[in-house]
Amino acid sequence: MVYGLDLVNAVQKYYQQNKKSSMNNKYKVAILAGGPSTEHKISLISAKSILKAINKENYEVFVIGIDHQTNWWWYPDEDFLTNPESVADIELKNGGIGVRLDKNGDGPLLVDKNTQQAFKVDIFFPVLHGSYGEDGVLQGYLNAFNAAFVGVDLLAASAGMDKDIAKRIWTEAGIPVARSFTVRPHLMSEFSFQKIQAAFGMPVFVKPANAGSSVGVSKVENKDDYDNALEEAFKFDKKVLVEEAVIGKEVECAVLGNEFPEASVLGEIIPKASFYSFDAKYMDDDGASMAIPADVPENIADKVKNYAILAFKALECEGLSRVDFFVTAEGRIVLNEINTLPGFTSISMYPKLWEASGLPYSQLIDKLIQLGLARHARNQKLIKSV
């Protein structure tokens, strides 16, 4: 790759600053954004919001953009986006510096592929939603280089991403979940429309087991809907959930912590369409509204918070997660799903719930970095081999 003069100057300036900064107490934080998933663009918006809000008095911050082919690009001047104000058109800017991870005795290093110059990173802040970033792949990769990072570790990420596996764990923990069948392509004949209708009635929801932000999710009212929904969902995963429709309020709870997690106030999603689709979340300004706190009785809110913490612990989560529920008119509580790396835009529910709970966005970022560093320090004390 041929670097432009401005980029070369930015790199040289960063290396000079990096040498000087070893004498100060600032942590070097690398925000990881983008990735190969269908939620690539949302990740970029989350990263932009974090970069704007993070306290640069406490941290040296830079962005690593990960493209659709999982190449890592370093943007030393923090200018990493084209069309940053457009959800539909936002992209990583061309001209980043190709980097790779390496390690020495002190921990992970980012290495410039062109010059082979290396610099230390104290902690990574992933905001890659969906596959690669939220399913354990990135967490396993960072673990291989003994890197500290924000958010859940490999086990919680992979289990939380797989709605089928997560439901099994939560059922064992005594948490109510919606009834469902798990369908695989070679067993589709066992799950006819008639069988689904007899078991759950109509409507039902069909969704990929491993996907986020309502990607590939369809509401089914009849056999044609069902056939089309399965075809759509199997584009995104090798197994699909067919799930009963639970009619009720969509209530969300933010959880924060390591060994002693805490729950936020509750928020309520009020979709304007028949369900909270990907477009309603991100593409349609009038797709839904939020209510914080959620309009549910106090005793129900307390139960939801307790279930959220229990769900978080059951999956061995640490750092952060958003846990989503349905609350019916009769007071029935049903856990819908967990998001172990929820949206982090300025209008996303997770930071808004903590802001309503007394923890502003910038301080929330501080807390998440502290939790990631604390977990890494704890894990360093474990004996890895004998």
Question: Same domain, yes or no, for 31 and 165?
Answer: no
Residue 97 has phi, psi (to 5 degrees) of -95, 125
Q: Is the pLDDT reported for residue 159 higher than 50?
A: yes
Contact 157, 135 (CB under 8 A): yes
For residue 1, what pLDDT is reported? 30
Percentage of the chain lying above the pLDDT 70 cut: 88
Question: Same domain, yes or no, for 265 and 239?
Answer: no
Q: What's the pLDDT band for 287 if we cut at 50, 70, 90? A: low
Give residue 350's domain range. Answer: 159-176+246-380
Distance from C-alpha of 341 to C-alpha of 350, rounded to nearest angstrom: 10
pLDDT in tens, 185-226: 999 999 999 999 999 999 999 999 987 657 889 999 999 999
CATH of the domain at 350: 3.30.470.20
Question: Same domain, yes or no, for 265 and 313?
Answer: yes
Distance from C-alpha of 6 to C-alpha of 34, rounded to nearest angstrom: 24
Distance from C-alpha of 332 to C-alpha of 353, rounded to nearest angstrom: 22
Question: pTM for the whole thing?
Answer: 0.88
Question: Same domain, yes or no, for 164 and 220?
Answer: no
pLDDT in tens, 258-267: 999 999 999 9
Calculate ∠ Cα 157-161-167, nearest 5°. 110
Contact 175, 334 (CB under 8 A): no
Encoded amino acid at 88, one letter: A
Mean pLDDT of 7-16: 42
Question: Same domain, yes or no, for 87 and 186?
Answer: no
Residue 357 has phi, psi (to 5 degrees) of -90, 5
> Is 9 a domain residue?
yes
For residue 275, what pLDDT is reported? 53
- For the chain, the residue count is 386
Distance from C-alpha of 89 to C-alpha of 242, rounded to nearest angstrom: 33
Strands 59-66 and 27-34, sheet pairing: parallel
Domains contained in the chain, number: 3
Average pLDDT, the chain: 89
Q: Is the pLDDT reported for residue 274 higher than 70?
A: no
Question: Same domain, yes or no, for 345 and 329?
Answer: yes
> Is 385 a domain residue?
no
Which residue, 211, 244, 277, sits at the end of a domain? 244
CATH of the domain at 53: 3.40.50.20
For residue 273, what pLDDT is reported? 60
> Is 32 a domain residue?
yes
Q: b/e per residue, 39-73, with b = 16+ CB within 10 A? A: bbbbbbbbbbbbbebbeeeebbbbbbbbbeeeebb
Q: Is the pLDDT reported for residue 36 higher than 60?
A: yes
> Is 213 a domain residue?
yes
Q: Which residue has the higher pLDDT, 76 or 201?
A: 201
Q: What's the pLDDT band for 20 if we cut at 50, 70, 90? A: very low
For residue 212, what pLDDT is reported? 65
Which residue, 199, 217, 244, sits at the end of a domain? 244
For residue 5, what pLDDT is reported? 34
Question: Same domain, yes or no, for 197 and 170?
Answer: no
CATH of the domain at 229: 3.30.1490.20
> Is 341 a domain residue?
yes
* SS3 (DSSP) at 75: strand
Distance from C-alpha of 143 to C-alpha of 152, rounded to nearest angstrom: 12
> Is 386 a domain residue?
no
Question: Same domain, yes or no, for 111 and 63?
Answer: yes
For residue 77, what pLDDT is reported? 81
pLDDT in tens, 78-93: 899 999 999 889 999 9
Residue 157 has phi, psi (to 5 degrees) of -65, -50
Q: Which of 15-19, 282-286, 348-352 has the lowest mean pLDDT?
A: 15-19
Distance from C-alpha of 354 to C-alpha of 359, rounded to nearest angstrom: 5
Question: Same domain, yes or no, for 169 and 305?
Answer: yes
Residue with tokens 């993070």: 54
> Is 154 a domain residue?
no
For residue 109, what pLDDT is reported? 93
Question: Same domain, yes or no, for 168 and 185?
Answer: no
For residue 211, what pLDDT is reported? 78
Which residue, 244, 272, 298, sits at the end of a domain? 244
> Is 101 a domain residue?
yes
Question: Same domain, yes or no, for 144 and 223?
Answer: no
Question: Same domain, yes or no, for 226 and 340?
Answer: no
> How many CB atoms sit inside 10 A of residue 380's CB?
11
Q: What's the pLDDT band for 277 if we cut at 50, 70, 90? A: very low
Q: Which of 1-15, 174-188, 267-281, 314-328 has the lowest mean pLDDT?
A: 1-15
